[in-house]
Amino acid sequence: MIESQRPAKSALPVLTVGPVDPVTREPRGPVAAANLDPPFPTLSLVTPPQQRASAHLGDTLVVQGHKLDGTNVAVRLTGSRLAQPIELPITAGSTATRLETTIPNQPATLPAGLYSLAVLVQRPGDTFRRTTNELTLALAPQIATALPASFARDGNGDATITLAVRPDVQPTQRVALILGDLEVTAQPKTNQTDTVSFVIRAAAPGTYLVRLRVDGVDSEVVNRAATPPEFFNHRVTVT
């Protein structure tokens, strides 16, 4: 019952434990760490400015992590609507635990939505660039039309709200306007555009707080830098 009579497999002896030192050609053995910091480049947090939950075009991001010092350091953005990942340079003064980078102000090529952010770094002693884990970054749309604004209903009681937006909206992106607690889908579009229209059927007159939603990411409507937080005056009046 204890000692099986079935044939068993015996593993081969271990030749080395850990990588071989390039100078001495001797095995380095296991690496023990005296703390809980990871032994390789790792990201822990990415923070947009003004305590916002989402980033805007042109924002400077603060990226925090461990072992981010080295050479050839860059921030990589990956998105489903990008033809290929883009690399962003870091600003001077970065450290092993903190660096900054700026999102390009390119409304035609960086659509709103969700992105993955990682750091590429060549650590001391390495001959290649390592890639950290990825963190999610939301790039929020912005309403470029001056708000508050007013829109009149037509003879059928419908109101058409046309707004300038940034970044540009691509034809296949999902776009909606949150008017108070009402979600209205944008009118169909066939080309990339910086203007979108929404038709509110049988619109009730009144003043509404508005948010633009593109690919699941909402425009900022709360000023979190204020104490206490308050709503921006992003309002539309239907007359």
- What are the chain's domains? 42-139 (2.60.40.10), 142-238 (2.60.40)
Name which of 82, 63, 88, 73 is nearest 131 in CA terms. 73
Distance of CA 51 to the CA centre of its chain: 14
What per-residue confidence (pLDDT) applies to 104? Answer: 96
What per-residue confidence (pLDDT) applies to 184? Answer: 96
**Token pair for residue 185?**
């889908």
Statement: residue 200 has pLDDT above 90: yes
Q: Are 198 and 149 in contact (CB under 8 A)?
A: no
Statement: residue 1 has pLDDT above 60: no
Query: Residue-wise over 207-221: b if at least 16 C-beta within 10 A, else e?
Result: ebbbbbbbbebbbbb
How do residues 207-218 score in pLDDT, each as one tens digit?
999 999 999 999
Q: What percent of the chain has pLDDT over 70?
A: 92
Cα–Cα–Cα angle for 80, 54, 176, rounded to 5 degrees: 70
Q: Are 78 and 119 in contact (CB under 8 A)?
A: no
* CB-CB neighbours of 190 under 10 Å: 6
Please compute the mean of the pLDDT values over residues 58-81 and round it to a whole number. 95
Helices (H), 59-159: none
Is pLDDT larger for residue 112 or for residue 18?
A: 112
Is pLDDT larger for residue 38 or for residue 206?
A: 206
Distance of CA 163 to the CA centre of its chain: 24
Beta strand ranges found along 60-190 (DSSP E): 60-66, 71-78, 86-88, 98-102, 113-122, 130-131, 135-139, 142-143, 149-151, 159-169, 175-179, 182-185
What per-residue confidence (pLDDT) applies to 218? Answer: 97
Please compute the mean of the pLDDT values over residues 97-116 and round it to a whole number. 97
* CB-CB neighbours of 129 under 10 Å: 17
Identify the H or E element spanning 207.
strand 206-214
